[in-house]
Amino acid sequence: MLKFVVRRVLLLVPILLGLSILVFLFVRALPGGPETALLGENATPERIAQVREAYGLDRPVQEQYFSYMERTVQLDFGTSIQTRRAVTEEIKQRFPATVELAVTAMLFAITVGIPLGFVAARRYGSWIDNLSTAGSLLGIAVPVFVLAFLLKYVFAIKLGWLPSQGREDPRVFTEHPTGFFVLDGLLTGNPSASWDALKHLILPAVALGTIPLAFLTRITRAAVLEVGNEDYVRTAEAKGMTRAVVTRRHILRNAMLPIATVIGLQTGLLLSGAVLTETVFAFGGIGSFMAQAVFTRDFPVIQGGILFLAVVFVLVNLLVDISYGVLDPRVRTR
């Protein structure tokens, strides 16, 4: 088992290395050169000269690459053009918000999606089945920011039940030891702050989580159907095993593999969807920060943010891979 994990982790290295090389080459291959990438087409000659000096763009390529790698390994992604602080600082400050949002969205997707898919499969052809199909189709086809707008309009504007933006009410004052607002409220003995943070989380998490929800529903349903039709399940049922035991021991266990796959994949969608959702809800995480960077052509932030999120994505999928080892003994021996 350990060997399996180690092998998988080692495979990460060439990927991350390759990613950094690709980014490096891409930026330098752009028409107009990396200065254009960093500053945009309309930069003044003074700014261009400054950037050339600051980034050492007049030195030979190998030197540039080494200093780039040096900086990347030390997690130095440069300075944001907009806020004038280190990109790493900005990412560190905003990351917890996005994590909180993504985790809540995924939890929402899992707790609603998997049971829904399961029930839909078990009651194949019923109205629940059709409803879940319709719902998941909508979830896939509706762009996440459209959904975000819709939710905001209905629940925050028209009905006023939930706040329309931000992570907390501006009049709430609490310490934030961890940066995860719901947790912080509990840690500092201020449960109303936690509740306030949770209220701010609901709409964006639902908007963001709808796509994974849709996929999870479909894949759970499909997996359960497929497994349910397998011979060994029918044998078990014929033998007289109770439904519950059959479900637990055979169906769910075997269906988990494709479900885990989808969860890993969906993290990618969550991370990119976060960019749009956080913007609509002004949520203050990395997503809205990246969107702002796109609006203001803050290239160091765009680059650094994408690299960072890619690493997160790869790590999550690594975890999924490792979980395969747990779920499916066959994989470990490969």
Partner 1 sequence: MSLSQSEAVESGVSAPEEARGGLARDALRRLRRSPSAIVGAVLVTLFVLVAIFAPLLAPYSPTEQDLSQIRPGVFPGPSAEHLLGLDQLGRDELSRLIYGARYSLVIGIVSVTIGASIGILFGLIAGAFGGWVDGLIMRLTDIMLAVPGLLLAIGIAALLGRSLTSVMIAIGVVNIPIFARLLRGSMLAQRESDYALAATALGVKRWRIVLLHVFPNSLAPVIVQATLALATAIIDAAGLAFLGLGSPDPSIPEWGRMLAETNAFLANAPLLALWPGLAIVLSVLGFYLLGEALREALDPKLRR
Partner 2 sequence: MHNMRRQSFPRRGGVALVLAGLLVGVAACGGSDDGGGSGGEASEGGDTLVFGTSADPVSLDGAYVSDGESLRAIRQMFETLVTTEAGGTEIVPALAEEWESDEAGTAWTFSLREGVTFHDGTDFNAEAVCFNFDRWYNFTGVQQSPSVSYYYNTVFTGFAANEDPEQGESLYSSCEATDENTAVINLTSPSASFLSGLALASFSIASPQALEEFGADDVSGSGEEPSFDGEYGRTQAVGTGPYQLEAFEPNNRLVMTRYDDYWGDAAKIETVIFRPIADGPARRLALESGEIQGYDLVAPADFEALEAAGFQLLERPAFNVGYIGFNTAQPPLDNPMIRQAIAHAINREAAVSALYPEGSEVATQFMPPALFGYSEDVPTYEYDLEKAKQLIAQSGVRNPTINFFYPTNVSRPYMPNPEANFQAFQADLQAAGFTVNPTSAPWNPDYLDAVQTGGAGIYLLGWTGDFGDPDNFIGTFFRTPQEAWGPLDPAIYEDLETARAESDEDARTALYEEANNKIMEFLPGLPYVHTSPRIAFAEGISGYEPSPVSIEEFAKVSID
- For residues 180 and 110, what is the distance between their CA atoms, to the nearest angstrom? 20
| Range in contact with partner 1 (rule: CB under 8 A) among 48-56, 118-126, 136-144, 174-182 | 136-144
Burial of 121 (C-beta count, 10 Å sphere; 0-12/13-18/19+): buried
- For residues 313 and 35, what is the distance between their CA atoms, to the nearest angstrom? 29
Q: Which parts of 267-286 interact with partner 1 (CB under 8 A)?
A: 267-269, 271-273, 275-276, 279
| Minimal distance, residue 107 CB to partner 1, in Å | 19
Which DSSP string corresponds to 298-310?
Answer: -HHHHHHHHHHHH
Tell me the CA end-to-end span of the chain in Å, nearest whole number: 11
Residue at token pair 């169906």: 251
Is 31 a binding residue for partner 2 by CB under 8 A? The answer is: no
Contact pick of 292, 306, 314, 323 for partner 2 (by CB under 8 A): 292
Q: What angle do CA 13, 17, 23 make, to 5 degrees?
A: 150
Contact pick of 150, 186, 245, 326 for partner 2 (by CB under 8 A): 150
- Separation in Å, CA 185 to CA 79, 172, 192, 204: 32, 11, 7, 19
Contact pick of 65, 95, 149, 155 for partner 1 (by CB under 8 A): 149
Instruction: Quote the strand ranges of 96-208, DSSP E.
Output: none
Enter the DSSP assignment of 283: -
Q: What residues line the site for partner 1 (CB under 8 A)?
A: 8, 11, 14-16, 18-19, 22, 26-27, 30, 36-37, 40-41, 137-138, 140-146, 149, 153, 157, 261, 264-265, 267-269, 271-273, 275-276, 279, 290-291, 294-295, 297, 299, 302-303, 306, 309-310, 313-314, 317-318, 320-321, 324, 331
Q: What residues line the site for partner 2 (CB under 8 A)?
A: 39-47, 50, 79, 81-84, 125, 130-131, 133-135, 137-138, 140, 150, 152-154, 156-158, 160, 163-166, 169-171, 215, 218-219, 221-223, 225-226, 258, 261, 265, 279, 282, 284, 292, 295-297
